[in-house]
């Protein structure tokens, strides 16, 4: 599924702004046909944004079930004769959409786009009403999983992941056009001929273009100055670029692959431009190589989480976060624990930031759930995470790879965070998902993120992973407050993982910290303890040759479900939720940049 864009043959109209909004706690709106007319008893709601924190009180914050969104827009008169498409960049966690009174699409999964051809339902020059019902409920057949508990006081949503279940329309909504014959998909695979580290490398771009309708395909590759550096006729092939400017960490150099569909008379029918970064990714022994050079991940697990708007995308907040990443010296991040907005990955592509791209498969671990107050006897079973869940999980992987396959910033796929991974049931569940991902993706490493309850001598999934990615909290959840014992335990376990002969990335390590809390004895929750904690981990990392990266948990404090182990959310950020630095941010800046 290609993103909407403006070109000589395409136009788009953003439907972001204020929509009419109404919660439907009793789930009566579908039967009552709320989509059939103006939404009654509605209030304004910004799109994109989570709805949970917009209105004071508990009603929307703790809402479980359907909410309704509605807007009207005028279809441009100049769109006559064009194919018109309605696209939602996401709806968390599922949605059904109507145009007028006609249902046009439904989608499961809260973080990937979906769209429908609505040409027959709109009239250029006239208004059209768009209505969406969005359901935030999690079950054993969703990614992430959860369960709704019915109580005397209404439904309560329970889940086993440690971030708040923000919901709504978090990303832009679009009406856009294409010609009736159009480019429907493109896949690019970059490469380097010969020695990747050569001073003047020769780059390659394999391309495969799909077209709906009849037409001849021509492709042209332009450099950043607009100069053509390669061209070819045909829907698939390989372009060769002499003295290529490689995409590299810190250097987000992008070429434009201009795809043109030509009619029988040679006239332009459709054109679409795909950004391309020429680079290679390889795992060789315990090294992670980008363009043939060892790459060490420095950065964070992050969250799409901000005050008021929750998970709603905002360009100002996004750019500020990237500027903070640059200030602290980070070169990478993981999209923990779901695919981020496409605008975020656009920015990473353009600025040379390396990304580990992760599905929303988090919360598949009873031990983690117990810490958060949800008790489950067995995670993988016919009654909990099951074959049906795996079907949903597989579709989430397909949609993630289809969306992000052409991005140079994405160097690895993570198909799950912190699942149970030491039992036969977990291996039976995950083995087909690793196989699927390898079928979909030929040139990137794939993996999952291991948690402490499945240690190196018991884990059954790392054999399928190209890279060892682990989350560890020695000194916090283990050896609590005892950094000397934690240092010994951490190094001992890393030595066990080192025996796998793969690169090791510490994808999470951190300590909850209350900004402004200081203690000369290094008490837990103080800024001093967080700094000492990180220092200890870094000493160990520097002694283990197989280490290929360190991602601190977390970039910034974030909201979670309410419970006795969380006070106004998770406080492991090195920045506060409103992006003020704790002492640990300065410590990381010194380590990663050498600057005070």
Above 80 in pLDDT, residue 369?
A: no
Is 221:229 a contact under the CB 8 Å cutoff?
yes
3-state secondary structure of 5: coil
Per-residue pLDDT at 575 exceeds 90? yes
Q: What is residue 1's predicted lDDT score, i.e. its pLDDT? A: 84
Average pLDDT rounded to a whole number, residues 89-113: 97
Average pLDDT of span 558-570:
88
Task: Indicate if the pLDDT at residue 374 is higher than 80.
Answer: no
Q: What pLDDT is stored for residue 477 in this prediction?
A: 93
Confidence at residue 109, expressed as pLDDT on a 0 to 100 scale: 96
237-273 burial string, b = 16+ CB within 10 Å, else e? Answer: eebebeebbbbbbeebbbbbbbbbbbeeeeeebbbbb
pLDDT digits (tens, 9 = 90+) for 57-89: 999 999 999 999 999 999 999 999 999 999 999
CB 35 within 8 A of CB 43: no
| Structural domains in the chain, sorted by start | 12-178 (2.60.120.260), 182-281 (2.60.40.10), 291-593 (3.20.20.80)
Alpha-carbon distance values, 71 to 18, 42, 338 (Å): 8, 11, 27
Distance CA 414, CA 486 (A): 27
- In this predicted structure, the answer to whether residue 118 has a pLDDT above a threshold of 80 is yes
Helix (H, G, I), strand (E, B) or coil at 369: helix
Within 10 angstroms of residue 592's Cβ, the number of other Cβ atoms is 16
Q: How confident is the model at residue 562 (pLDDT cuts 50, 70, 90)?
A: confident
Q: Which residues contact 32 (CB under 8 A, 6 or more apart)?
A: none
User: Catalytic annotation on 150?
Assistant: no
Q: Could you tell me which residues come within 8 angstroms of residue 301 by beta carbon, excluding any fewer than 6 positions away?
A: 333, 334, 336, 507, 508, 551, 552, 553, 554, 555
**How high is the mean pLDDT of the chain?**
96
The confidence score (pLDDT) of residue 159 equals: 87
Token pair recorded at residue 593: 């940049």
Asked whether the predicted pLDDT for residue 9 surpasses 90, the reply is: yes
> Using one digit for the tens of pLDDT, what is the confidence trace for 293-351?
999 999 999 999 999 999 999 999 999 999 999 999 999 999 999 999 999 999 999 99
| Helices 315-328/583-593 angle, 10° precision | 60
Residues of 134-146 as b/e, b for ≥16 C-beta within 10 angstroms?
bbbbbebbbbbbb
Percentage of the chain exceeding pLDDT 90: 92
**b or e along 288-302 (b: 16 or more beta carbons within 10 Å of the residue's beta carbon)?**
bbbbbeebbbbbbbb
pLDDT of 152-179, one tens digit each? 998 998 888 889 999 999 999 999 999 9
pLDDT at 150 over 80: yes
User: Could you say which of 108, 427, 487, 508 is catalytic?
Assistant: 508
Q: What are phi and psi of 44, to 5 degrees?
A: -80, 145
Shortest CA distance to 585 belongs to which of 520, 537, 515? 515
**For 238-282, how does the pLDDT look when each residue is reduced to its tens digit (9 = 90+)?**
999 999 999 999 999 999 999 999 999 999 999 999 999 999 999
- In order of 5, 129, 262, the CA distances from 74 in angstroms are 19, 9, 31
The pLDDT of residue 60: 95
Span 355-370, average pLDDT: 88
Q: What integer pLDDT is reported at residue 442 of this predicted model?
A: 82
Is residue 508 part of the annotated active site? The answer reads yes
pLDDT band, very low/low/confident/very high, at 563 (cuts 50, 70, 90)? confident
Q: Residue 378: what pLDDT?
A: 86
> How much is the pLDDT for 567?
86
pLDDT surpassing 90 at residue 580: yes
pLDDT band at 115 (very low <50, low <70, confident <90, very high): very high
Q: Closest Cα to residue 8, out of 180, 220, 260?
A: 260
Query: Mind spelling out the 3-state secondary structure of 445-483?
Result: CEEEEECCCCCCCCCCCHHHCCCEEEECCECCCECCCCH
Q: Which entry of 82, 260, 418, 528 is annotated as an active-site residue?
A: 418
pLDDT at 13 over 90: yes
**CB-based burial label for 33 (10 Å; 0-12, 13-18, 19+):** exposed
């Amino acid at each position: 599924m290609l993103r909407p864009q403006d070109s000589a043959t395409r136009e788009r109209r953003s439907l972001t702004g204020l929509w009419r909004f109404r919660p439907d706690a009793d789930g009566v709106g579908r039967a009552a046909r709320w989509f059939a007319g103006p939404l009654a008893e509605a209030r304004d709601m910004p799109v994109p944004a989570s709805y949970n924190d917009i209105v004071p009180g508990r009603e929307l914050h703790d809402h479980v079930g359907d909410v309704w969104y509605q807007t009207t827009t005028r279809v441009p008169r100049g769109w006559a004769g064009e194919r018109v498409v309605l696209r939602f960049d996401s709806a968390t966690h599922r949605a059904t959409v109507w145009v007028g009174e006609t249902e046009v699409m439904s989608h499961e999964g809260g973080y990937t786009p979906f769209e429908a051809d609505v040409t027959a339902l709109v009239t250029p020059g006239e208004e059209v009403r768009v209505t969406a019902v969005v359901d935030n409920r999690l079950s054993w057949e969703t990614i992430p999983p959860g369960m709704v508990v019915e109580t005397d006081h209404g439904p309560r949503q329970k889940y086993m992941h440690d971030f708040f279940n923000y919901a709504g329309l978090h990303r832009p909504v679009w009406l856009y056009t294409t010609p009736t014959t159009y480019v429907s998909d493109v896949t690019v695979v970059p490469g380097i001929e010969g020695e990747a580290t050569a001073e003047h490398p020769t780059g390659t771009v394999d391309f495969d273009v799909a077209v709906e309708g009849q037409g001849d395909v021509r492709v042209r590759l332009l450099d950043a100055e607009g100069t053509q550096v390669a061209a070819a006729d045909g829907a698939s092939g390989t372009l060769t670029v002499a003295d290529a400017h490689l995409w590299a960490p810190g250097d987000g150099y992008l070429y434009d692959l201009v795809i043109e569909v030509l009619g029988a008379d040679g006239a332009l029918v459709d054109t679409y431009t795909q950004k391309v970064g020429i680079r290679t990714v390889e795992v060789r022994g315990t090294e992670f190589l980008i363009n043939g050079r060892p790459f060490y991940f420095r950065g964070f697990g992050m969250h799409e989480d901000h005050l008021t708007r929750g998970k709603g995308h905002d360009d100002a907040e996004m750019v500020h976060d990237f500027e903070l990443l640059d200030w602290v010296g980070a070169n990478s991040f993981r999209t923990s624990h779901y695919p981020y907005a496409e605008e975020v990955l656009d920015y990473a592509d353009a600025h040379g930031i390396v990304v580990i791209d992760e599905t929303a498969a988090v919360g598949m671990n009873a031990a983690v759930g117990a810490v958060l107050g949800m008790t489950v006897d067995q995670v993988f079973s016919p009654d909990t995470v099951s074959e049906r869940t795996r079907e949903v999980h597989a579709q989430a992987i397909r949609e993630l790879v289809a969306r992000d396959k052409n991005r140079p910033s994405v160097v690895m796929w993570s198909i799950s965070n912190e699942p149970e991974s030491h039992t036969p049931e977990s291996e039976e569940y995950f083995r087909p998902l690793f196989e699927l991902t390898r079928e979909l993706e030929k040139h990137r490493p794939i993996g999952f993120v291991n948690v402490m309850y499945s240690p190196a001598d018991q884990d059954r999934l790392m054999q399928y992973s190209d890279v060892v990615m682990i989350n560890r909290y020695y000194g916090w959840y283990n050896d609590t407050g005892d950094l000397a014992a934690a240092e010994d335990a951490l190094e001992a376990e890393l030595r066990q993982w080192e025996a796998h002969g793969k690169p090791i990335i510490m994808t999470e390590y951190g300590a909850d910290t209350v900004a402004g809390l200081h203690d000369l004895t290094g008490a837990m929750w103080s800024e001093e303890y967080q700094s000492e904690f990180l220092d200890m981990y870094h000493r160990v990392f520097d002694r283990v040759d197989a280490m290929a990266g360190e991602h601190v948990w977390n970039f910034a404090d974030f909201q979670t479900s309410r419970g006795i182990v969380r006070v106004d959310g998770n406080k492991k950020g090195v920045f506060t939720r409103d992006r003020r630095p704790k002492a640990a941010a300065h410590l990381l800046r010194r380590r990663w940049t050498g600057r005070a």
